Structure formats: structure tokens, C-alpha cells
Amino acid sequence: MDAGKQDRCPDCGFALVVPATKEKLEVSQTQLLQEQSREQLNALKSEEAKRALTQKLAEEAKRQQDLQLDRNPLKEWAVYASIITVLLLLFGGTHLFRAASSDSSGLCLMIFALFGLGVVLNYRAVKSLKNEFVCAAFLVEKLNSPKGLVEIVRSNPAGVFQKHIQDLVNIAKHDPSVSQDSLVSLLYSKMMARSKMVEVLSGVLVSLGLIGTIVGLISMTNGLSGTLESLGEDGDATDLMAGMRTTMQGLGTAFYTTLVGAILGSVVLRVLNNVYTSNVDHFVSYIASLTEVRITPRLRKQSRNTNQEAVLGEIVE
């Protein structure tokens, strides 16, 4: 306790300095090191607890993100197409076959051909959207890595999501308050453009059905005229049967074209096209929210703290 202090010898009274100063310093240093070690250990435990909690929250968020991107538009389209095909064959197959075989105007065949074109265009659009879902899921996984954003920015765009991120980085070079509102609107319009042609074909099929109705009524009117003429004094049974046959063919054309156009245009194509549009809504809203939460704040911060030429370099750091 008195090491390093002045004292007197109890025997002779000689003034002296109590030895063991070095030992006292060593004990003090040991105690200080032990205290620092305990503080570091407590800090480490606290940091590990925070890291564990953060990791748990990140894994939970990742699972939720994976669930949101775990959609297969192509599979959904195939399910709807299969159900519609079965229902058509069970309840309308006979009528559709009769329409194609008995329609002398050719409008039913034209409706079937345009319907096939619409189905092909819709299938290609849904298949392309499925690839966008796969690319977006891959980018979400890459964003979890330390330099994932840098790799996304520097690599060639593999989908609309990656191109959207690269456009935001380019905007951040010139505008610290970077916003993605305009880009999201453009992205949505670009993706929905592929469904416009299918919507047009759907309306065309219905219109062709109505045109077929008019053509059938005209043919029926001509048949009735021939029938009435055959009932005159100079008419015979042959002319009468020909007129009746023309009348019935015109009536069949009017009914069949309307039926085929309404079923294939108003029902089938619209249901299949809705598969694409609904998945586009989900896809665009998801990437917009993900970008707004995880990417846009980083770009705004880096754009405010660095000059225009060093934005990308700061993102790397």
C-alpha cells in the first residue's frame, strides 16, 4: 500500500522511500488490462448479440423476398390455359367444330387464326416475364453480398431490374435527390406494352363476331328474297329449296361467328392476358419497393457526399 511513498525506518528513524514501485505498477497495469479485457469481452458479446439479431432479421426478410419472387407466371398461364381448354372441349367443343365446318363466309376460320396468333403472343410475353422473375431473384440474392451492388452496376444488364438500378446510378451522378418515380412509370409502360396487342386482338375477335352477324343477316335476307321469288307463278321447288338453304346458312353464320368471337375474344384471350398483366403489377411494385428501401437511400447519401465523377467509386468502397 505504501510502495513508492516516503517513510522512516522503525529502528533507526532513517528517512527512505518504500521499495516495490515497479511491482505496484505491474499490478496496476495487470488490473487495468483485466478491466479492459472485461470491457472488450462485454462489448464483443453485445456486438455478437446485435449481429445475431440482425442476421435473423435479414434471413427473415430474405425469406419474405424469396416468397414474393417465388412466382412462375408461365406455370400459372399453363394452368389457366389447361382449365379453359377442358371447359371449351366439354361444353363448347361441338359448337366450335360446327362453326368452323359450316360457316361459308370464312369469318370463323379468320377468328380462329387471329385467336391462335393472340395465344402465341401472350405465351411469349408470359415466358419473357418468367425470365424477368428469375433475373430479379438472382439480383436480390447478389445484393446481400458486400459488393453486390457494384457488380450489378458494372455488369451488362440481364433484365429490366438490373437496367433500372443502373439508370438510378446514372441519375445519382447528376442529381443528389435521385428519385425513381419516372423510371418506374416508364418500366411499367414498357412491360405492359406487350399486352396491348393481345388486348387489340381480343377486341378484333369480338368485332369480327359482330361483323359475321351482319354478314349472316345479309345472306339470310338474300335467301328470303330468293324464297319469295320462288313462290311466284314461275317458281319451282328447286328455287324454293335453294332460297331456304341460303337463309339457313346466313342464320348459321350470324350465330356462329358471334358465338366464336365472344368466347375466344371476350373470355379466353382476356383471361390469359390477365395472367400477364397481374404478374407485371406484382413484379413492378415489388422491385419499386425494394429499390426504394435498399438502393435509393445509398445513392442519395453517396451523391451528397461525393462529387459527380466519384459516385461509382464511393459505392465500391
Q: What is the pLDDT of residues 212-252, one digit of tens each?
A: 888 777 776 766 665 555 555 555 556 555 555 555 555 65
pLDDT for 243 equals 52
**Are 260 and 98 contacting, i.e. CB atoms less than 8 angstroms apart?**
no
Q: Give the pLDDT mean for 70-85.
A: 87
CA distance 204 to 198: 10
pLDDT for 168 equals 85
Task: Identify the band that residue 314 occupies on the pLDDT scale cut at 50, 70 and 90.
Answer: low
Whose CA is closest to 62, among 283, 282, 290?
290
pLDDT for 164 equals 86
Identity of the residue numbered 230: S
Q: Give the pLDDT mean for 113-118.
A: 92
pLDDT for 224 equals 60
**Average pLDDT of the residues of the chain:** 77
pLDDT for 227 equals 58
pLDDT for 308 equals 47
* Cβ neighbours for 166, distance < 8 A, ≥ 6 positions apart: 152, 153, 157
Grid look-up 403489377 returns: 281
Q: What is the pLDDT of residues 192-210, one digit of tens each?
A: 998 999 999 999 999 988 8
* Cβ neighbours for 250, distance < 8 A, ≥ 6 positions apart: 215, 216, 217, 218, 219, 220, 221, 222, 223
Task: Identify the band that residue 121 occupies on the pLDDT scale cut at 50, 70 and 90.
Answer: very high
pLDDT for 213 equals 81
Does the pLDDT value for residue 276 go beyond 90? yes
pLDDT for 306 equals 60
CA distance 101 to 95: 10
240 dihedral zone (left: phi>0; alpha: psi -120 to 50; beta): alpha
pLDDT for 66 equals 46
SS3 15: strand
pLDDT for 247 equals 56
Which of the residue ranges 15-19, 109-113, 246-250, 253-257 would you say has the lowest mean pLDDT?
246-250
Q: What is the pLDDT of residues 93-115, one digit of tens each?
A: 777 777 777 777 778 888 889 99
pLDDT more than 70, % of the chain: 75
**Are 144 and 62 contacting, i.e. CB atoms less than 8 angstroms apart?**
yes
pLDDT for 61 equals 47
pLDDT more than 90, % of the chain: 15
Q: What is the pLDDT of residues 159-196, one digit of tens each?
A: 888 888 888 888 887 777 778 888 888 889 989 998 99
